[in-house]
């Protein structure tokens, strides 16, 4: 039987590459659309090594309408699009909001505009727990209010969800799912793909592994006076492979006609909150190393604590995170060691 082809935008990036692997292992064929501004072409060979098949690839900036249309029309046999391609650095978005609105929103609009010719294309969107801000009630369900975003980046995720919902309502496309990720960390068990931030990492896990690898002198722990058990901020960390597998489940839900509504939203988290110090302790346990860190001021814009209510994803989507925090920190360290040639 012919394999169903899936377009994965941002497929050479961190979450995208892990999702491509899971899709190919589930029997789909994949074409990646990526402009490589924040990822490496070598990821394709790594994916091929893991799955024994090479995904197709188009280097394309999807915020360019003509280029986006041309790439999609070359792959008119695709039955679905999983849209990861986006900029994601909160601080950079505050400094350069137009870059974020142009890139993140134009890309989505260009994709939807082109799929209007083929509204049966299943669409999965990469959203974020950032849409909830600092919630009053924890854990957070999908019906928790979406609050005004505190960065242009966060606003692009909120606006994108609205654009998608309204496009589905208008019949531009028939069916879509937004997946709201909590804090994806970790790496594939092969240690061939993982998170590869360019320059200084913004996020905790790559900062920890780069510090342990000797690339950074020490980790700053942002804030120790939060109203949490140990005073450091709490997040719902989730293994990137769990996140990737949720995309395959969500995709099949649309393709098999199982969606309960034409537009659906699911939280992707484990439902458990861990502090920054919990992550450091887990890392030290799984690596056998002592991590150098010191406390510093809170980072502007950070929320105190956030973790998911996963009931909707567990019962309705039929997906549940399998990996624990030690799995996440040990796989992240295995990846960093492999990358840097550390024994
Ligand atoms: N942290 C440190 N030191 C660092 C980096 C992070 O202490 O060097 C702390 C942060 O203050 C926070 C926790 O580690 O308490 C997690 O920070 P990350 O930057 O890894 O993740 P965030 O929760 O800030 O960010 C995530 C996503 C963003 C999204 C944001 C808002 O990565 O895309 O959630 O929900 F916008």
pLDDT in tens, 227-265: 999 999 999 999 999 999 999 999 999 999 999 999 999
State how far the Cα of 74 lies from the Cα of 215, in Å rounded to an integer.
42
pLDDT higher than threshold 90 for residue 63: yes
Beta strand pairing status for 234-235 and 274-275? antiparallel
331 or 133: which carries more pLDDT confidence? Answer: 331
- The predicted model gives 159-177 an average pLDDT of 98
Residue nearest to atom 10 of ligand 1 (CA): 222
Residue nearest to atom 19 of ligand 1 (CA): 203
Q: What is the pTM of this model?
A: 0.98
- pLDDT averaged over every residue in the chain: 97
pLDDT recorded at residue 334: 98
pLDDT higher than threshold 90 for residue 9: yes
Write out pLDDT tens, residues 277-328: 999 999 999 999 999 999 999 999 899 999 999 999 999 999 999 999 999 9
pLDDT recorded at residue 343: 87
Query: Which atom, in ligand 1's list, is nearest to the CA of 276?
Result: 14
Query: Which atom, in ligand 1's list, is nearest to the CA of 185?
Result: 20
| Annotation marks residue 153 as catalytic | yes
Return the closest-CA partner of residue 239 out of 290, 291, 181, 280: 181
Residue list, ligand 1 pocket, CB within 6 Å: 88, 90, 128-130, 153-154, 183, 202-204, 207, 219-222, 233, 235, 276, 299, 302
Tokens of 16: 């995208």
Residue tagged active-site, from 100, 153, 181, 237: 153
State how far the Cα of 314 lies from the Cα of 312, in Å rounded to an integer.
5
pLDDT recorded at residue 1: 79
12 or 147: which carries more pLDDT confidence? Answer: 12
For residue 191, report the distance from its CA to the centre of ligand 1, in Å: 23
Give, to the nearest 10 degrees, the angle between helix 106-115 and helix 152-169.
20
pLDDT recorded at residue 216: 97
Torsion of CA 230, 212, 210, 8, to 10 degrees: -80
Query: Which atom, in ligand 1's list, is nearest to the CA of 279?
Result: 14
pLDDT higher than threshold 90 for residue 134: no
pLDDT higher than threshold 90 for residue 150: no
User: pLDDT band at residue 75, thresholds of 50, 70 and 90?
Assistant: very high
With helix as H, strand as E and coil as C, how does 215-266 read?
CCCCEEEECCCCCCCCCCCEECEEEHHHHHHHHHHHHHHHHCCCCCCCEEEE
For residue 202, report the distance from its CA to the centre of ligand 1, in Å: 7
């Amino acid at each position: 039987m012919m394999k169903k082809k899936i377009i994965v935008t941002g497929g050479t990036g961190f979450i995208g590459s892990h999702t491509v692997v899971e899709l190919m292992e589930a029997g789909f064929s994949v074409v990646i659309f990526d402009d490589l501004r924040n990822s490496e072409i070598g990821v394709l060979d790594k994916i091929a090594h893991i799955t024994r098949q090479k995904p197709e690839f188009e280097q394309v900036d999807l915020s360019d309408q003509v280029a986006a249309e041309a790439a999609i029309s070359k792959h008119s046999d695709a039955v679905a699009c999983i849209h990861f391609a986006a900029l994601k650095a909160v601080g950079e978005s505050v400094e350069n909001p137009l870059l974020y609105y142009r890139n993140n929103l134009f890309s989505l609009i260009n994709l939807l505009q082109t799929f209007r010719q083929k509204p049966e294309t299943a669409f999965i969107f990469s959203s974020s727990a950032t849409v909830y801000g600092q919630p009053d009630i924890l854990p957070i369900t999908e019906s928790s209010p979406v609050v005004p975003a505190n960065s242009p980046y966060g606003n692009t995720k909120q606006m994108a969800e609205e654009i998608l919902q309204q496009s589905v309502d208008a019949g531009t496309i028939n069916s879509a799912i937004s997946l709201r990720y909590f804090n994806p960390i970790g790496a594939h068990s092969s240690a061939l793909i993982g998170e590869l931030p360019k320059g200084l990492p913004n996020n905790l896990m790559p900062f920890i592994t780069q510090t342990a690898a000797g690339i950074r002198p020490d980790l700053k722990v942002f804030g120790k006076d939060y109203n949490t058990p140990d005073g450091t901020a709490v997040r719902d960390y989730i293994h990137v492979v769990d996140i990737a597998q949720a995309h395959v489940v969500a995709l099949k839900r649309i393709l098999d006609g199982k969606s309960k509504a034409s537009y659906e939203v699911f939280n992707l988290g484990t439902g458990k909150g861990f502090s920054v110090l919990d992550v450091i302790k887990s890392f030290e346990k799984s690596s056998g190393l002592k991590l150098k860190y010191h406390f510093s001021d809170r980072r502007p814009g950070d929320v105190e604590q956030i973790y998911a209510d996963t009931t909707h994803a567990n019962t309705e989507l039929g997906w549940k995170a399998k990996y624990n925090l030690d799995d996440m920190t040990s796989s992240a360290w295995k990846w960093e060691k492999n990358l840097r040639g550390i024994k």
